[in-house]
Amino acid sequence: MSVTGKIKRQTAVEIRNRKGSDPLVCLTAYTTPVARLTDAHCDVLLVGDSLGMVVYGFDSTLPVTLDMMIRHGQAVMRGSQQALVVVDLPFGSYEAGPQAAFDAAAQVMSETGAGAVKLEGGVAMARTIEFLTARGIPVMAHVGLTPQAVNAFGGYSVQGRGAAAQKVMDDAVATARAGAFAVVLEKIPAVLADRITEEINVPTIGIGASAGCDGQILVVDDMLGLFTDFRPKFVQRYGELGEAADKAIADYAADVRARRFPGPEHVFGDEAPKPKG
């Protein structure tokens, strides 16, 4: 809370300074109602390009556009007050080079008011991260399993096992040195995540990584159990809202078909209300 009494939104600098402190709580959010529910409990709300699958039903994140990210970023900003809002740069909007990345990031930040952007990639993206941060754009990095590279990986398999561990380590170190304020570690062995967390001087945010990371993030729909048929190993279900919603909708459908809904309490009479007094 600021001296004016207005809730102060967290910044990328504050998140960076949480390295080695209390664990950072992060969740995805794509809509205003979900942002309102999660904001008071989270340090970071990520408007992830995972919305392509979660909201739009795509098979991957690849079809997501910059306009989609901006519209959902605006929605999450309207629903939040204190969490740092980070918006993913979608596939194809930043890989061409630092200037293309700057143009995309600047558009996202100016049109949403978000406090940072996130991009995928390690050593190959270090120059781009340095270019953005030098121009006032805070960047969250993302290494390990990077969903935008799913075709190159041949699927969503664990990264960094065996000899491949050094590449993930190099990627994390490169992004931290380039100026990223935090690094997401996705779907890598716990021992590697712990090594990276010890090695780099910015917070690590784990998803399918290690409890030793400086913070954790999950897709909110997965954590709430909104998808009854999707149970990845690294997700803890803190609710079964999908089952609850299915039952509620089934009960509603049954009441409509049996003409139990609407009841007398849900409809309006002919008489106008009498004036008071």
Catalytic residues: 186
Asked if residues 178 and 138 have their Cβ atoms less than 8 Å apart, the reply is no
CA distances from 42 to 56, 112, 113, 265 (A): 24, 19, 18, 39
Say which residues have a Cβ less than 8 Å from residue 190's Cβ, sequence separation at least 6: 209, 210, 211, 212
Is 88 marked as binding a ligand? yes
Helix, strand and coil content of the chain, in percent to the nearest 5, comes to: 45, 15, 45
DSSP conformation class of 275? P
Asked if residues 113 and 75 have their Cβ atoms less than 8 Å apart, the reply is no
d(CA 219, CA 62): 17
The two tokens of residue 247 are: 């039952």
Asked if residues 49 and 58 have their Cβ atoms less than 8 Å apart, the reply is no
d(CA 200, CA 177): 8
Is 120 marked as binding a ligand? yes
d(CA 171, CA 123): 5
Is 50 marked as binding a ligand? yes
Half-sphere exposure of 35 toward its Cβ, with a 13 Å CA cutoff?
24
In the numeric block, the tokens 């009479």 are attached to 269
Distance of CA 240 to the CA centre of its chain: 20
Is 80 marked as binding a ligand? no
Is 167 marked as binding a ligand? no
- Residue in 195, 238, 260 with CA at minimum distance from that of residue 41: 238
Residues annotated as binding site? 49-50, 88, 118, 120
* Binding residue positions for 3-methyl-2-oxobutanoate: 49-50, 88, 118
Query: Which residues line the annotated binding site for Mg(2+)?
Result: 49, 88, 120
